Amino acid sequence: MNAGFDRMLGAELQRLKDGGTYKRLRHLTTPMAPQVKMEEAGEVLVLSSNDYLGLADDPQVIEGGVAALRTYGAGTASVRFICGTFDIHRRLERRLAACFGFEAALSYVSCWSANTGLIPTLAVEGTAIVSDELNHASIIDGCRLATQAKRLRYKHGDMADLEAQLAGLPREMTKFIVTDGVFSMEGDLARLPEIAALAQRYDAVSIVDDSHGTGVMGATGRGTIEHYGLQGKIDILTGTLGKALGGAAGGFVCGSANVVDMLIQRSRPQLFSNALPCTVAGSALAALDQLEQRPELVARLRANTQWFREALRRMGYRPLAGEAAIIPIIVGETAFAIKMSERLLEEGLFVTGFGYPVVPEGTARIRVQMSAALDRPQLEHALAIFERVGRELGVLATA
């Protein structure tokens, strides 16, 4: 290793440590579930995974992956268009398209890969992308890769700003509006009815990344589009298999047959990077079975979220309002949020604190993520810890 460069990295890492933003990995020795064993903290209750439906260690989902491993072996050892497409990919993609109400779907190894593969493929020279300023990093990077397109941002959830930006573009220019369905730091929803209407008025193509909404929002967990009753009104959907749908990895794009066909032709992660492992496809298919056969999972997730948010509020916390399964509690300074999450972990509760630069300084937060797998005694235990630590640190409002 180049010693001078390595020293430079060391100094930069030390600055992160001094600034309190250095991340330390924690190691689980058991499957993702409400209760896990963590090398650094022992037995802890997890309220910060994306395992919204509790499917990560579901026996059927595990079995789906094991069966696919036996049938197809460990990997594709190829990209899709050479010899890396197995029939299970087609099965998964047809299933995803049908599940979310689109003509076609294409899988990627992650939603990160889906967004960074989709956006630059469609947003070529002579087009414009208008993107919510709080969109996920993978959308931001996807836009950055669209070097030939005009790239604009609108203020978070500000439909007047979105409209002004659309109105400023030439009429005949192809335009894309891109947004998260559920925003991960605020837990709020994109205003999809207005976005769909603006897309229609300005002849724009709407793209929604519903990674945090898939399996969570809507009566049957089909996501934020279902929540608003907008099936058929959004042009392109991207999502992850790494959150509610089994939690392993994998992402997808749903759209028209032409959109998917163009991605097969030109999307760079499709052309130059391996296909989704068949084991993950097998688990994801089983997770879709669970979503369809057990609607009570979505109902329980929703009931848990409402109950927990309300209980926090009664206790004197000020969680942000919202309909998704993300409950952010604003606590102020970054260092305080980190200290609070450390105290909660010492008490046996794993929730993450987020601060600057992920969110603006002064709005650092503890982010609770709910799961259908958490039972009432576990939620009550988590609340007791929140009460103890909240009192100790003086964050509870006094009624």
Ligand X SMILES: *Cc1c(COP(=O)(O)O)cnc(C)c1O
Q: Does 367 bind ligand X (CB under 6 A)?
A: no
Q: How far apart are CA 337 and CA 342, in angstroms?
A: 9
Task: Output DSSP code: residue 25.
Answer: -
Between 41 and 139, whose beta carbon lies closer to ligand X? 139
Among 80, 136, 151, 309, binds ligand X (CB under 6 A): 136
Q: How far apart are CA 123 and CA 36, in angstroms?
A: 43
Catalytic residue among 89, 136, 175, 212: 212
Q: Does 111 bind ligand X (CB under 6 A)?
A: yes
The distance of closest approach from Cβ of residue 211 to ligand X in the complex, given in angstroms and rounded to an integer, is 3
The distance of closest approach from Cβ of residue 130 to ligand X in the complex, given in angstroms and rounded to an integer, is 17
Q: How far apart are CA 83 and CA 220, in angstroms?
A: 36
- Measured CA to CA in angstroms, residue 64 lies from 11, 70, 143, 294, 318 at distances of 46, 10, 35, 17, 41
Q: How far apart are CA 143 and CA 130, in angstroms?
A: 9
The distance of closest approach from Cβ of residue 141 to ligand X in the complex, given in angstroms and rounded to an integer, is 10
Q: How far apart are CA 138 and CA 176, in angstroms?
A: 16
Selection from 95, 171, 196, 184 nearest residue 134 by Cα: 184
Q: Does 93 bind ligand X (CB under 6 A)?
A: no
Selection from 15, 43, 95 nearest residue 381 by Cα: 43
Among 48, 110, 214, 369, binds ligand X (CB under 6 A): 110
Between 138 and 165, whose beta carbon lies closer to ligand X? 138
The distance of closest approach from Cβ of residue 107 to ligand X in the complex, given in angstroms and rounded to an integer, is 11
Binding residues among 237-276 for ligand X as defined by CB under 6 A? 240, 242, 251
- Contact segment (CB under 6 A) with ligand X among 189-197, 204-212, 271-279, 356-364 equals 204-212
Tell me how crowded residue 17 is: count the other CB atoms within 10 A of its CB.
10
Please check whether residue 72 is in contact with residue 275, taking contact to mean a CB–CB distance below 8 angstroms.
no
Among 89, 175, 212, 302, binds ligand X (CB under 6 A): 212
Q: What would you report as the CA-atom Rg of the chain, rounded to the nearest whole angstrom?
A: 22
- Contact segment (CB under 6 A) with ligand X among 110-118, 159-167, 194-202, 267-275 equals 110-118
Please check whether residue 64 is in contact with residue 277, taking contact to mean a CB–CB distance below 8 angstroms.
no
- Contact segment (CB under 6 A) with ligand X among 5-13, 85-93, 205-213, 363-371 equals 205-213
- Contact segment (CB under 6 A) with ligand X among 95-103, 107-115, 303-311, 339-347 equals 107-115
The distance of closest approach from Cβ of residue 346 to ligand X in the complex, given in angstroms and rounded to an integer, is 28
Residue 227 bears catalytic tag: no
Q: Does 211 bind ligand X (CB under 6 A)?
A: yes
Number of residues assigned to the chain: 399
Q: Does 224 bind ligand X (CB under 6 A)?
A: no
Q: Does 371 bind ligand X (CB under 6 A)?
A: no
The distance of closest approach from Cβ of residue 181 to ligand X in the complex, given in angstroms and rounded to an integer, is 8
Catalytic residue among 49, 131, 138, 184: 184
Selection from 277, 301, 306, 312 nearest residue 389 by Cα: 312
Residue 212 bears catalytic tag: yes
The distance of closest approach from Cβ of residue 377 to ligand X in the complex, given in angstroms and rounded to an integer, is 29
Please check whether residue 309 is in contact with residue 269, taking contact to mean a CB–CB distance below 8 angstroms.
no
Sort 65 into a burial class: Cβ within 10 Å, 0-12 / 13-18 / 19+.
buried
Say whether 184 sits in a helix, a strand or coil: coil
Task: Output DSSP code: residue 80.
Answer: T
Q: Does 186 bind ligand X (CB under 6 A)?
A: no
Catalytic residue among 243, 283, 341, 371: 243
For residue 31, say if its preceding peptide bond is cis, omega within 30 degrees of 0. Answer: no
Q: Does 151 bind ligand X (CB under 6 A)?
A: no
Between 240 and 363, whose beta carbon lies closer to ligand X? 240
> Could you list the residues that contact ligand X (CB under 6 A)?
110-112, 136, 138, 180, 184, 209, 211-212, 240, 242, 251
* Residues that are catalytic: 184, 212, 243
